Amino acid sequence: MDPIEFRDGMLAYLADHSVTARAAEGESGSGMQYGIITRTPSGGEAWWQLAARSTPSGARTDLPELDTAPALPDSGAVQVADLELVLAHAARAAGASTVERYSTREKVPSLKYGVHAEFPDQTAVFVQLHWSLRPGEEPRESNRYEPRDSI
């Protein structure tokens, strides 16, 4: 799976589900060449990095089904876990055969929020939260990897 094709497929799903999002392409010196920035109605942003690699063992089949995608609120704060779940559904819609959310793993990894998507062509894409910014905050190295539960 090509990372740009995957990103564009996710962006199309998000647009169809009333989630404001745009491609992150090295903005603000962030270094995010492949990514998605989601924006909440209150102006908070979650910056998600995309990284791809091959998976010679193929896709896993032992993952639980995703919960139903939530309807995000029209105003106020949004739970980052809800954004993560919507992104998981977007990954599935973009062609992933298996999808796993970081926050629901038995042992949560160092990056609290993210999605691991695997594809039939033995590609895996990781969608990892780098910034969760409140309205008016700018992405900086000092607030990178500091996940908030709501933005």
Residue 15's pLDDT is 93
Task: Kindly report the length of the chain.
Answer: 151
**Neighbouring C-beta atoms of residue 146, cutoff 10 Å:** 12
Provide the residue ranges of all domains of the chain, joining segments of one domain with +.
Answer: 3-139
Residue 25's pLDDT is 74
Containing 82, the helix (H) or strand (E) segment is helix 80-93
Q: Going edge to edge, which strands form the sheet with 45-54?
A: 20-24, 35-39, 45-54, 123-133, 114-118, 98-101
The Cα–Cα gap between 65 and 92 comes to 11
What pTM value is reported for the model?
0.87
Residue 18's pLDDT is 83
Tokens of 58: 């193929």
The Cα–Cα gap between 68 and 109 comes to 23
Containing 85, the helix (H) or strand (E) segment is helix 80-93
Nearest Cα residue to 100 out of 59, 48, 71: 59
3-state secondary structure of 15: helix
Low-confidence stretches of the chain (pLDDT < 50) are none
- 8 A C-beta contact, residue 113 and residue 102: yes
Residue 55's pLDDT is 72
Query: From residue 50, how far is each of 64, 71, 91 by CA, in Å?
Result: 22, 24, 11
Residue 80's pLDDT is 95
Containing 49, the helix (H) or strand (E) segment is strand 45-54
